Chain A
Protein backbone atom coordinates (compact mmCIF):
# COMPACT_ATOMS: atom_id res chain seq x y z
CA UNK A 1 0.00 0.00 0.00
CA UNK A 2 1.14 3.44 -0.79
CA UNK A 3 -0.31 6.45 0.98
CA UNK A 4 -0.04 8.62 -2.10
CA UNK A 5 -2.46 6.67 -4.15
CA UNK A 6 -4.57 5.37 -1.32
CA UNK A 7 -5.42 8.89 -0.23
CA UNK A 8 -6.20 9.93 -3.78
CA UNK A 9 -8.34 6.87 -4.36
CA UNK A 10 -10.21 7.44 -1.12
CA UNK A 11 -10.70 11.10 -2.01
CA UNK A 12 -12.31 10.21 -5.33
CA UNK A 13 -14.50 7.54 -3.75
CA UNK A 14 -15.63 10.04 -1.13
CA UNK A 15 -16.46 12.57 -3.85
CA UNK A 16 -18.39 9.88 -5.67
CA UNK A 17 -20.37 9.11 -2.53
CA UNK A 18 -20.97 12.76 -1.67
CA UNK A 19 -22.72 13.33 -4.97
CA UNK A 20 -24.56 10.04 -4.83
CA UNK A 21 -25.86 10.52 -1.31
CA UNK A 22 -26.45 14.21 -1.89
CA UNK A 23 -28.83 13.44 -4.74
CA UNK A 24 -30.26 10.07 -3.82
CA UNK A 25 -30.92 10.75 -0.15
CA UNK A 26 -30.91 14.51 0.29
CA UNK A 27 -32.37 15.49 -3.12
CA UNK A 28 -29.84 18.24 -3.67
CA UNK A 29 -30.26 18.14 -7.45
CA UNK A 30 -30.12 21.91 -7.67
CA UNK A 31 -26.80 22.01 -5.84
CA UNK A 32 -25.10 19.24 -7.79
CA UNK A 33 -26.73 19.91 -11.13
CA UNK A 34 -26.70 23.70 -11.28
CA UNK A 35 -24.82 25.56 -8.55
CA UNK A 36 -21.65 23.49 -8.39
CA UNK A 37 -21.23 23.17 -12.18
CA UNK A 38 -21.58 26.94 -12.66
CA UNK A 39 -19.23 27.65 -9.80
CA UNK A 40 -16.68 25.14 -11.04
CA UNK A 41 -16.80 26.56 -14.53
CA UNK A 42 -16.22 30.08 -13.21
CA UNK A 43 -13.26 28.88 -11.17
CA UNK A 44 -11.90 27.07 -14.23
CA UNK A 45 -12.09 30.14 -16.46
CA UNK A 46 -10.81 32.55 -13.80
CA UNK A 47 -8.05 30.22 -12.66
CA UNK A 48 -6.92 29.46 -16.19
CA UNK A 49 -6.65 33.12 -17.12
CA UNK A 50 -4.97 33.94 -13.82
CA UNK A 51 -2.38 31.27 -14.48
CA UNK A 52 -1.74 32.47 -17.99
CA UNK A 53 -1.23 36.04 -16.79
CA UNK A 54 1.04 34.82 -14.00
CA UNK A 55 3.21 32.88 -16.41
CA UNK A 56 3.12 35.76 -18.88
CA UNK A 57 4.59 37.98 -16.17
CA UNK A 58 7.41 35.59 -15.39
CA UNK A 59 10.59 36.66 -17.10
CA UNK A 60 12.68 34.22 -19.10
CA UNK A 61 16.24 34.92 -18.02
CA UNK A 62 18.03 32.53 -20.35
CA UNK A 63 17.40 31.07 -23.77
CA UNK A 64 16.85 27.45 -22.76
CA UNK A 65 15.13 26.02 -25.82
CA UNK A 66 15.85 22.31 -25.96
CA UNK A 67 17.17 20.97 -29.19
CA UNK A 68 16.94 17.66 -30.91
CA UNK A 69 18.95 18.24 -34.04
CA UNK A 70 21.52 20.31 -35.88
CA UNK A 71 21.30 24.02 -35.23
CA UNK A 72 21.34 26.39 -38.18
CA UNK A 73 24.97 27.01 -38.86
CA UNK A 74 27.20 27.34 -41.87
CA UNK A 75 25.37 26.90 -45.15
CA UNK A 76 26.67 23.41 -45.88
CA UNK A 77 25.29 21.94 -42.64
CA UNK A 78 21.72 20.81 -43.04
CA UNK A 79 19.75 22.31 -40.11
CA UNK A 80 16.99 20.38 -38.36
CA UNK A 81 14.28 22.95 -39.01
CA UNK A 82 11.67 21.44 -36.68
CA UNK A 83 13.82 19.95 -33.95
CA UNK A 84 16.03 22.98 -33.75
CA UNK A 85 13.88 25.81 -35.04
CA UNK A 86 15.46 29.18 -35.71
CA UNK A 87 12.37 30.76 -37.22
CA UNK A 88 8.93 31.52 -35.86
CA UNK A 89 7.36 29.11 -38.37
CA UNK A 90 9.75 26.44 -37.14
CA UNK A 91 8.70 27.07 -33.53
CA UNK A 92 5.03 26.82 -34.47
CA UNK A 93 5.74 23.59 -36.33
CA UNK A 94 7.65 22.13 -33.43
CA UNK A 95 4.94 23.17 -31.00
CA UNK A 96 2.24 21.62 -33.18
CA UNK A 97 4.13 18.33 -33.38
CA UNK A 98 4.66 18.42 -29.66
CA UNK A 99 1.00 19.03 -28.88
CA UNK A 100 -0.57 16.83 -31.51
CA UNK A 101 1.75 13.83 -31.57
CA UNK A 102 3.98 14.23 -28.48
CA UNK A 103 7.16 14.22 -30.51
CA UNK A 104 9.57 14.66 -27.64
CA UNK A 105 7.94 11.83 -25.71
CA UNK A 106 8.41 9.65 -28.76
CA UNK A 107 12.16 10.08 -28.41
CA UNK A 108 12.00 8.41 -25.02
CA UNK A 109 14.63 5.74 -24.44
CA UNK A 110 15.40 3.52 -21.51
CA UNK A 111 18.91 3.39 -20.13
CA UNK A 112 19.83 0.26 -18.25
CA UNK A 113 22.40 -2.43 -17.58
CA UNK A 114 22.16 -5.44 -19.81
CA UNK A 115 24.10 -8.70 -19.74
CA UNK A 116 26.05 -7.85 -16.67
CA UNK A 117 27.64 -4.46 -16.90
CA UNK A 118 26.82 -3.59 -20.44
CA UNK A 119 25.00 -0.26 -20.52
CA UNK A 120 22.44 0.10 -23.21
CA UNK A 121 19.80 2.49 -24.45
CA UNK A 122 16.61 0.82 -25.33
CA UNK A 123 13.59 1.71 -27.42
CA UNK A 124 10.78 2.69 -25.04
CA UNK A 125 7.50 3.80 -26.51
CA UNK A 126 4.96 2.64 -23.96
CA UNK A 127 4.60 5.97 -22.24
CA UNK A 128 4.14 7.66 -25.58
CA UNK A 129 1.50 5.12 -26.57
CA UNK A 130 -0.51 5.44 -23.36
CA UNK A 131 -0.20 9.20 -23.36
CA UNK A 132 -1.36 9.59 -26.93
CA UNK A 133 -4.22 7.14 -26.42
CA UNK A 134 -5.26 8.99 -23.29
CA UNK A 135 -5.13 12.50 -24.66
CA UNK A 136 -6.73 11.81 -28.01
CA UNK A 137 -9.55 9.75 -26.58
CA UNK A 138 -10.11 12.43 -23.96
CA UNK A 139 -10.38 15.04 -26.71
CA UNK A 140 -12.79 12.89 -28.69
CA UNK A 141 -14.95 12.24 -25.63
CA UNK A 142 -15.12 15.96 -24.84
CA UNK A 143 -15.97 16.88 -28.41
CA UNK A 144 -18.63 14.19 -28.57
CA UNK A 145 -20.12 15.55 -25.37
CA UNK A 146 -20.99 18.69 -27.31
CA UNK A 147 -24.12 16.79 -28.29
CA UNK A 148 -25.41 17.59 -24.81
CA UNK A 149 -24.66 21.27 -25.24
CA UNK A 150 -25.87 22.10 -28.74
CA UNK A 151 -29.24 21.85 -30.37
CA UNK A 152 -29.35 21.08 -33.24
CA UNK A 153 -26.19 19.07 -32.77
CA UNK A 154 -23.35 20.28 -34.97
CA UNK A 155 -22.53 18.18 -37.97
CA UNK A 156 -18.85 17.56 -37.12
CA UNK A 157 -19.94 16.22 -33.74
CA UNK A 158 -22.32 13.79 -35.41
CA UNK A 159 -19.58 12.72 -37.79
CA UNK A 160 -17.27 12.11 -34.89
CA UNK A 161 -19.96 10.00 -33.24
CA UNK A 162 -20.47 7.83 -36.25
CA UNK A 163 -16.73 7.30 -36.65
CA UNK A 164 -16.36 6.54 -32.96
CA UNK A 165 -19.10 3.91 -33.12
CA UNK A 166 -17.79 2.48 -36.37
CA UNK A 167 -17.89 -1.16 -35.27
CA UNK A 168 -21.56 -0.93 -34.23
CA UNK A 169 -21.16 -3.21 -31.26
CA UNK A 170 -24.23 -3.59 -29.06
CA UNK A 171 -27.03 -1.14 -28.39
CA UNK A 172 -26.49 1.62 -27.51
CA UNK A 173 -23.50 1.36 -29.80
CA UNK A 174 -20.14 1.28 -28.06
CA UNK A 175 -18.06 4.42 -28.39
CA UNK A 176 -14.46 3.31 -28.67
CA UNK A 177 -13.01 6.51 -27.28
CA UNK A 178 -14.71 6.08 -23.91
CA UNK A 179 -13.27 2.61 -23.49
CA UNK A 180 -9.82 3.66 -24.67
CA UNK A 181 -9.91 6.59 -22.24
CA UNK A 182 -10.58 4.32 -19.29
CA UNK A 183 -8.01 1.74 -20.38
CA UNK A 184 -5.32 4.37 -20.94
CA UNK A 185 -6.04 5.98 -17.59
CA UNK A 186 -5.57 2.61 -15.97
CA UNK A 187 -2.35 1.98 -17.91
CA UNK A 188 -0.93 5.33 -16.84
CA UNK A 189 -1.81 4.51 -13.27
CA UNK A 190 -0.32 1.00 -13.47
CA UNK A 191 2.88 2.49 -14.88
CA UNK A 192 3.28 4.62 -11.79
CA UNK A 193 2.68 1.71 -9.47
CA UNK A 194 4.67 -1.05 -11.14
CA UNK A 195 7.83 0.78 -12.10
CA UNK A 196 9.73 1.29 -8.82
CA UNK A 197 11.37 4.55 -9.90
CA UNK A 198 8.01 5.91 -10.97
CA UNK A 199 6.38 4.88 -7.75
CA UNK A 200 9.14 6.65 -5.84
CA UNK A 201 8.56 9.97 -7.55
CA UNK A 202 4.76 9.78 -7.73
CA UNK A 203 2.78 11.96 -5.39
CA UNK A 204 -0.85 12.47 -4.54
CA UNK A 205 -0.96 15.22 -7.14
CA UNK A 206 -0.06 12.62 -9.77
CA UNK A 207 -2.55 10.01 -8.72
CA UNK A 208 -5.52 12.20 -7.92
CA UNK A 209 -6.15 13.44 -11.47
CA UNK A 210 -5.84 9.90 -12.78
CA UNK A 211 -8.40 8.58 -10.33
CA UNK A 212 -10.64 11.56 -10.90
CA UNK A 213 -10.63 11.11 -14.66
CA UNK A 214 -11.00 7.37 -14.19
CA UNK A 215 -13.99 8.03 -11.94
CA UNK A 216 -15.54 10.30 -14.55
CA UNK A 217 -15.02 7.70 -17.25
CA UNK A 218 -16.42 4.92 -15.08
CA UNK A 219 -19.51 6.89 -14.13
CA UNK A 220 -20.04 7.85 -17.79
CA UNK A 221 -19.67 4.29 -19.00
CA UNK A 222 -21.96 3.04 -16.25
CA UNK A 223 -24.53 5.57 -17.31
CA UNK A 224 -24.35 4.75 -21.00
CA UNK A 225 -24.18 0.98 -20.97
CA UNK A 226 -25.35 -0.29 -17.60
CA UNK A 227 -27.31 1.91 -15.22
CA UNK A 228 -29.25 3.55 -18.04
CA UNK A 229 -30.48 7.03 -17.42
CA UNK A 230 -32.89 9.16 -19.38
CA UNK A 231 -30.74 11.02 -21.87
CA UNK A 232 -33.49 13.36 -23.00
CA UNK A 233 -33.92 14.67 -19.46
CA UNK A 234 -30.16 14.88 -19.09
CA UNK A 235 -30.02 17.05 -22.15
CA UNK A 236 -32.72 19.29 -20.74
CA UNK A 237 -30.45 19.91 -17.76
CA UNK A 238 -27.30 20.48 -19.80
CA UNK A 239 -29.06 22.73 -22.30
CA UNK A 240 -30.51 24.64 -19.37
CA UNK A 241 -26.97 25.25 -18.17
CA UNK A 242 -25.63 26.60 -21.45
CA UNK A 243 -28.66 28.73 -22.25
CA UNK A 244 -28.69 30.23 -18.73
CA UNK A 245 -32.15 28.82 -18.10
CA UNK A 246 -31.13 26.26 -15.51
CA UNK A 247 -33.68 23.56 -14.89
CA UNK A 248 -33.73 20.24 -13.16
CA UNK A 249 -35.53 17.59 -15.15
CA UNK A 250 -37.19 14.76 -13.30
CA UNK A 251 -36.16 11.18 -13.74
CA UNK A 252 -32.41 11.62 -13.97
CA UNK A 253 -30.55 9.06 -11.90
CA UNK A 254 -28.01 10.00 -9.22
CA UNK A 255 -25.23 8.51 -11.35
CA UNK A 256 -25.54 11.49 -13.70
CA UNK A 257 -25.04 13.86 -10.80
CA UNK A 258 -22.01 11.87 -9.73
CA UNK A 259 -20.61 12.24 -13.24
CA UNK A 260 -21.20 15.97 -13.42
CA UNK A 261 -19.97 16.50 -9.84
CA UNK A 262 -16.68 14.76 -10.58
CA UNK A 263 -16.40 16.84 -13.74
CA UNK A 264 -16.99 19.98 -11.68
CA UNK A 265 -14.24 18.95 -9.30
CA UNK A 266 -11.96 18.37 -12.27
CA UNK A 267 -12.75 21.79 -13.70
CA UNK A 268 -12.18 23.62 -10.43
CA UNK A 269 -9.01 21.66 -9.70
CA UNK A 270 -7.61 22.01 -13.19
CA UNK A 271 -5.94 25.44 -13.15
CA UNK A 272 -4.18 24.78 -9.86
CA UNK A 273 -2.86 21.35 -10.64
CA UNK A 274 -0.44 19.58 -12.91
CA UNK A 275 -3.25 19.30 -15.42
CA UNK A 276 -2.55 22.93 -16.19
CA UNK A 277 0.17 21.70 -18.53
CA UNK A 278 -2.58 22.21 -21.10
CA UNK A 279 -1.89 25.93 -20.84
CA UNK A 280 1.66 25.56 -19.62
CA UNK A 281 3.02 23.97 -22.76
CA UNK A 282 2.55 27.25 -24.60
CA UNK A 283 4.56 29.07 -21.96
CA UNK A 284 7.46 26.61 -21.85
CA UNK A 285 10.67 28.39 -22.77
CA UNK A 286 12.17 25.04 -23.71
CA UNK A 287 9.53 24.79 -26.42
CA UNK A 288 8.50 28.27 -27.44
CA UNK A 289 11.88 29.95 -27.94
CA UNK A 290 13.83 29.95 -31.14
CA UNK A 291 17.24 28.34 -31.02
CA UNK A 292 18.91 31.36 -32.53
CA UNK A 293 21.30 31.85 -29.64
CA UNK A 294 24.29 32.29 -31.92
CA UNK A 295 22.61 34.87 -34.10
CA UNK A 296 20.84 37.02 -31.53
CA UNK A 297 21.56 38.11 -28.01
CA UNK A 298 18.89 37.15 -25.50
CA UNK A 299 18.45 40.01 -23.07
CA UNK A 300 17.65 38.89 -19.55
CA UNK A 301 14.68 40.97 -18.48
CA UNK A 302 15.90 40.69 -14.91
CA UNK A 303 18.95 42.71 -15.75
CA UNK A 304 19.01 45.87 -13.69
CA UNK A 305 19.55 48.89 -15.84
CA UNK A 306 23.27 49.34 -15.14
CA UNK A 307 24.56 52.94 -15.26
CA UNK A 308 27.58 52.78 -17.51
CA UNK A 309 30.28 55.32 -18.12
CA UNK A 310 32.13 54.42 -21.30
CA UNK A 311 35.78 55.26 -21.84
CA UNK A 312 34.86 57.66 -24.62
CA UNK A 313 32.61 59.61 -22.26
CA UNK A 314 35.25 59.47 -19.55
CA UNK A 315 37.86 60.89 -21.89
CA UNK A 316 35.46 63.62 -23.01
CA UNK A 317 35.02 64.60 -19.42
CA UNK A 318 38.67 64.62 -18.44
CA UNK A 319 40.47 65.27 -21.75
CA UNK A 320 41.93 68.64 -20.85
CA UNK A 321 43.19 67.46 -17.53
CA UNK A 322 44.67 64.34 -19.11
CA UNK A 323 46.45 66.39 -21.76
CA UNK A 324 47.71 68.74 -19.09
CA UNK A 325 49.39 65.99 -17.12
CA UNK A 326 50.59 64.30 -20.30
CA UNK A 327 48.39 61.21 -20.30
CA UNK A 328 47.77 59.73 -23.75
CA UNK A 329 44.32 60.46 -25.15
CA UNK A 330 42.61 58.88 -28.13
CA UNK A 331 41.25 62.10 -29.51
CA UNK A 332 43.39 65.18 -29.22
CA UNK A 333 41.57 68.38 -28.34
CA UNK A 334 40.67 69.90 -31.69
CA UNK A 335 42.47 73.12 -32.45
CA UNK A 336 45.47 72.98 -30.09
CA UNK A 337 46.16 76.75 -30.45
CA UNK A 338 42.69 78.02 -29.66
CA UNK A 339 42.27 76.18 -26.45
CA UNK A 340 44.72 78.07 -24.32
CA UNK A 341 43.04 81.29 -25.49
CA UNK A 342 39.65 80.04 -24.37
CA UNK A 343 41.11 79.13 -21.05
CA UNK A 344 42.58 82.56 -20.68
CA UNK A 345 39.23 84.15 -21.41
CA UNK A 346 37.55 82.19 -18.68
Chain B
Protein backbone atom coordinates (compact mmCIF):
# COMPACT_ATOMS: atom_id res chain seq x y z
CA UNK B 1 0.00 0.00 0.00
CA UNK B 2 1.08 3.55 -0.57
CA UNK B 3 2.96 4.57 2.49
CA UNK B 4 1.95 8.15 2.38
CA UNK B 5 -1.51 8.73 0.90
CA UNK B 6 -1.19 12.44 1.64
CA UNK B 7 1.46 13.05 -0.96
CA UNK B 8 0.33 14.76 -4.16
CA UNK B 9 2.22 13.44 -7.16
CA UNK B 10 2.94 15.75 -10.06
CA UNK B 11 1.90 18.61 -7.84
CA UNK B 12 2.27 21.35 -10.43
CA UNK B 13 0.13 19.54 -12.97
CA UNK B 14 -2.68 18.71 -10.56
CA UNK B 15 -2.85 22.20 -9.08
CA UNK B 16 -2.84 23.71 -12.56
CA UNK B 17 -5.67 21.36 -13.51
CA UNK B 18 -7.72 22.34 -10.49
CA UNK B 19 -7.15 26.04 -11.12
CA UNK B 20 -8.17 25.69 -14.77
CA UNK B 21 -11.25 23.71 -13.86
CA UNK B 22 -12.31 26.14 -11.15
CA UNK B 23 -11.76 29.06 -13.49
CA UNK B 24 -13.87 27.56 -16.28
CA UNK B 25 -16.61 26.57 -13.87
CA UNK B 26 -16.68 30.03 -12.32
CA UNK B 27 -16.61 31.81 -15.66
CA UNK B 28 -20.35 32.51 -15.89
CA UNK B 29 -20.15 34.05 -12.43
CA UNK B 30 -16.96 35.98 -13.13
CA UNK B 31 -18.28 37.50 -16.34
CA UNK B 32 -21.28 38.86 -14.48
CA UNK B 33 -19.41 40.07 -11.43
CA UNK B 34 -21.08 43.14 -10.00
CA UNK B 35 -23.63 43.32 -12.77
CA UNK B 36 -27.35 43.17 -12.62
CA UNK B 37 -29.16 42.05 -15.70
CA UNK B 38 -32.70 43.33 -15.55
CA UNK B 39 -35.14 42.18 -18.17
CA UNK B 40 -35.49 44.66 -21.01
CA UNK B 41 -38.09 47.36 -20.78
CA UNK B 42 -40.32 47.42 -23.78
CA UNK B 43 -41.78 50.54 -25.28
CA UNK B 44 -45.24 50.38 -26.76
CA UNK B 45 -46.05 52.88 -29.48
CA UNK B 46 -49.09 55.10 -29.04
CA UNK B 47 -50.76 53.11 -31.77
CA UNK B 48 -50.23 49.88 -29.90
CA UNK B 49 -51.37 51.47 -26.65
CA UNK B 50 -54.54 52.54 -28.34
CA UNK B 51 -55.16 49.04 -29.59
CA UNK B 52 -54.58 47.69 -26.07
CA UNK B 53 -54.48 44.11 -27.30
CA UNK B 54 -51.92 42.37 -29.43
CA UNK B 55 -52.91 39.96 -32.18
CA UNK B 56 -53.27 37.33 -29.55
CA UNK B 57 -53.26 37.44 -25.77
CA UNK B 58 -50.08 38.68 -24.16
CA UNK B 59 -49.33 35.28 -22.66
CA UNK B 60 -49.59 33.65 -26.05
CA UNK B 61 -47.75 36.26 -28.09
CA UNK B 62 -44.84 36.39 -25.68
CA UNK B 63 -44.19 32.69 -26.01
CA UNK B 64 -45.33 31.88 -29.47
CA UNK B 65 -45.01 34.94 -31.69
CA UNK B 66 -42.33 33.23 -33.76
CA UNK B 67 -44.58 30.29 -34.40
CA UNK B 68 -47.44 32.59 -35.26
CA UNK B 69 -45.20 34.39 -37.74
CA UNK B 70 -44.16 31.07 -39.21
CA UNK B 71 -47.79 30.15 -39.68
CA UNK B 72 -48.52 33.53 -41.24
CA UNK B 73 -45.62 33.27 -43.61
CA UNK B 74 -46.59 29.82 -44.78
CA UNK B 75 -50.25 30.71 -45.17
CA UNK B 76 -49.50 33.81 -47.21
CA UNK B 77 -46.72 32.48 -49.35
CA UNK B 78 -48.10 28.98 -49.95
CA UNK B 79 -51.86 29.41 -49.83
CA UNK B 80 -52.13 33.06 -50.82
CA UNK B 81 -54.50 33.73 -47.94
CA UNK B 82 -53.84 37.02 -46.25
CA UNK B 83 -56.51 37.36 -43.59
CA UNK B 84 -55.99 36.03 -40.10
CA UNK B 85 -58.88 35.80 -37.67
CA UNK B 86 -57.87 35.65 -34.03
CA UNK B 87 -59.92 33.80 -31.40
CA UNK B 88 -61.68 37.03 -30.52
CA UNK B 89 -62.89 37.25 -34.10
CA UNK B 90 -60.74 40.23 -34.99
CA UNK B 91 -59.22 40.22 -38.48
CA UNK B 92 -55.61 40.99 -39.31
CA UNK B 93 -53.66 41.21 -42.50
CA UNK B 94 -51.01 38.51 -42.11
CA UNK B 95 -47.97 40.62 -42.67
CA UNK B 96 -44.75 41.07 -40.78
CA UNK B 97 -44.02 44.58 -41.93
CA UNK B 98 -47.52 45.89 -42.37
CA UNK B 99 -49.15 44.44 -39.27
CA UNK B 100 -46.63 43.62 -36.56
CA UNK B 101 -44.42 46.54 -37.39
CA UNK B 102 -47.38 48.80 -37.88
CA UNK B 103 -48.27 48.65 -34.22
CA UNK B 104 -44.72 47.94 -33.14
CA UNK B 105 -43.09 50.43 -35.46
CA UNK B 106 -40.42 51.01 -32.84
CA UNK B 107 -38.59 47.81 -33.74
CA UNK B 108 -35.35 48.85 -32.01
CA UNK B 109 -37.13 49.59 -28.75
CA UNK B 110 -39.41 46.61 -28.92
CA UNK B 111 -38.49 43.51 -30.90
CA UNK B 112 -34.76 44.14 -30.76
CA UNK B 113 -34.59 44.81 -27.04
CA UNK B 114 -36.02 41.43 -26.26
CA UNK B 115 -34.05 39.69 -28.94
CA UNK B 116 -30.75 41.18 -27.85
CA UNK B 117 -31.44 40.09 -24.32
CA UNK B 118 -32.33 36.55 -25.38
CA UNK B 119 -29.66 36.50 -28.08
CA UNK B 120 -31.90 35.78 -31.01
CA UNK B 121 -31.28 37.47 -34.31
CA UNK B 122 -34.19 36.71 -36.62
CA UNK B 123 -32.97 36.58 -40.19
CA UNK B 124 -36.28 38.07 -41.37
CA UNK B 125 -34.75 41.54 -41.59
CA UNK B 126 -32.45 40.42 -44.38
CA UNK B 127 -35.47 40.92 -46.63
CA UNK B 128 -38.28 42.52 -44.67
CA UNK B 129 -36.80 45.98 -44.41
CA UNK B 130 -39.60 47.88 -46.01
CA UNK B 131 -41.05 49.37 -42.88
CA UNK B 132 -41.18 53.06 -43.76
CA UNK B 133 -41.65 54.27 -40.20
CA UNK B 134 -38.60 52.42 -39.02
CA UNK B 135 -36.61 53.63 -42.01
CA UNK B 136 -37.37 57.30 -41.24
CA UNK B 137 -35.92 57.04 -37.81
Cα distance, A101 to B121, chains bound together (Å): 31
Inter-chain contact A56/B117, CB cutoff 8 Å: no
- Interfacial chain B residues near A58, Cβ < 8 Å: 2, 9
CB of A243 within 8 A of chain B?
Answer: yes
CB of B64 within 8 A of chain A?
Answer: yes
Q: How far is the CB of B56 from chain A (nearest CB, A)?
A: 12
Inter-chain contact A243/B21, CB cutoff 8 Å: no
Residue from the list A53, A151, A282, A304 in contact with B37, Cβ < 8 A: A151
Cα distance, A139 to B75, chains bound together (Å): 37
Chain A interface bracket (under 10, 10 to 19, 20 to 34, 35 or more):
35 or more
CB of B119 within 8 A of chain A?
Answer: yes
- Interfacial chain B residues near A242, Cβ < 8 Å: 28-29, 31-32
CB-CB nearest in chain A for B58: A251
Cα distance, A57 to B6, chains bound together (Å): 6
Residue from the list A157, A229, A251, A304 in contact with B119, Cβ < 8 A: A157
Q: Which positions 278-330 of chain A face chain B at CB distance < 8 Å?
A: 279, 282, 301-302, 304
Cα distance, A189 to B11, chains bound together (Å): 38
- Interface readout for A180-204 with B: 1 if CB under 8 Å, 0 if not? 0000000000000000000000000
Inter-chain contact B121/A162, CB cutoff 8 Å: yes
Inter-chain contact B9/A235, CB cutoff 8 Å: no
CB-CB nearest in chain B for A225: B67
- Interface readout for A107-124 with B: 1 if CB under 8 Å, 0 if not? 000000000000000000
Inter-chain contact A245/B36, CB cutoff 8 Å: yes
Cα distance, A188 to B67, chains bound together (Å): 32
Inter-chain contact B22/A171, CB cutoff 8 Å: no
Q: A231-B118, A232-B40 are in contact. Are A48 and B21 (CB under 8 A)?
A: yes
- Interfacial chain A residues near B39, Cβ < 8 Å: 232-233, 235-236, 249
Cα distance, A231 to B119, chains bound together (Å): 10
CB of A340 within 8 A of chain B?
Answer: no
Inter-chain contact A150/B31, CB cutoff 8 Å: yes
- Interface readout for A85-109 with B: 1 if CB under 8 Å, 0 if not? 0000000000000000000000000
Q: Which positions 21-46 of chain B face chain A at CB distance < 8 Å?
A: 21-22, 25, 28-29, 31-32, 35-40
**How many residue pairs between the two chains, A and B, have CB atoms under 8 Å in the bound complex?**
109
CB-CB nearest in chain A for B25: A45
Cα distance, A325 to B31, chains bound together (Å): 83
Cα distance, A172 to B119, chains bound together (Å): 12
CB of A273 within 8 A of chain B?
Answer: no
Residue from the list A149, A158, A171, A235 in contact with B121, Cβ < 8 A: A158
Q: A147-B119, A170-B70, A243-B36 are in contact. Are A60 and B25 (CB under 8 A)?
A: no
CB of B8 within 8 A of chain A?
Answer: yes
Cα distance, A233 to B37, chains bound together (Å): 12
Inter-chain contact A228/B32, CB cutoff 8 Å: no
Q: Which positions 73-109 of chain B face chain A at CB distance < 8 Å?
A: none
Cα distance, A152 to B121, chains bound together (Å): 13
CB of A49 within 8 A of chain B?
Answer: yes
Inter-chain contact A172/B66, CB cutoff 8 Å: yes
Inter-chain contact B121/A53, CB cutoff 8 Å: no
Cα distance, A322 to B39, chains bound together (Å): 94
Q: How far is the CB of A282 from chain B (nearest CB, A)?
A: 6
Q: A56-B14, A59-B2, A172-B120 are in contact. Are A44 and B25 (CB under 8 A)?
A: yes
CB of A168 within 8 A of chain B?
Answer: yes
23 contacts between A and B (CB under 8 A): A48-B21, A48-B25, A52-B14, A52-B17, A53-B14, A53-B18, A57-B9, A58-B9, A59-B2, A149-B31, A150-B31, A151-B32, A152-B116, A158-B121, A171-B69, A172-B120, A230-B62, A232-B114, A235-B39, A243-B37, A282-B17, A301-B9, A302-B2
What is the interface of chain B, defined by CB distance below 8 A to chain A?
A: 1-3, 5-11, 14, 17-18, 21-22, 25, 28-29, 31-32, 35-40, 59, 62-64, 66-67, 69-70, 114, 116-121, 123
What is the interface of chain A, defined by CB distance below 8 A to chain B?
A: 44-45, 48-49, 52-53, 56-60, 146-147, 149-154, 157-158, 161-162, 168, 170-173, 228-233, 235-236, 239, 242-245, 249, 251, 279, 282, 301-302, 304
- Top 3 nearest A-B pairs (CB, nearest first) are A56-B14, A171-B70, A153-B119
